[in-house]
Amino acid sequence: MELTEAADKEMPETNNSGVMEEIKRLPVGEKATDEELMRDETDEHFFISSGSDVRETYYVSSVDFELDGITYILMGFDLDMTADELFGMAEEMLAAK
């Protein structure tokens, strides 16, 4: 996934940040592997969730920033963009002000 380099990236000269989080969804009643449980405890960008019909992994990428006292969040699931493109979108919004 191209956005892995975006985890905890900060936009220059702002108090804004971006993250990419990986979410492992499990069917009801299915248990996570020992490796997944260990990663869930040690990786702040990895989460385990249940309630899916099938075992699946998806990625949530987001950039948040504040403009005129309002916090904005650009968020997408399984984006086909680089971290720089996602941050570029946020920078365009800031520059348009």
Closest CA to 86 of 69, 73, 97: 73
Q: What is the pLDDT of residue 83?
A: 67
Provide the number of structural domains found in the chain: 1
Q: Are 63 and 87 in contact (CB under 8 A)?
A: yes
Is 71 within 8 Å of 64 (Cβ atoms)? yes
pLDDT for 14: 47
- 3-class state of residue 6 by DSSP: helix
Strands (E), the chain: 9-10, 17-27, 46-52, 56-67, 70-77
Task: Give me the pLDDT at residue 1, please.
Answer: 32
pLDDT tens track, the chain, 97 positions: 333 344 444 444 445 567 788 999 999 999 999 999 999 999 999 999 999 999 999 998 888 877 778 888 888 888 877 667 887 887 887 788 6
What per-residue confidence (pLDDT) applies to 16? Answer: 58
Show the domain range for 17.
2-96
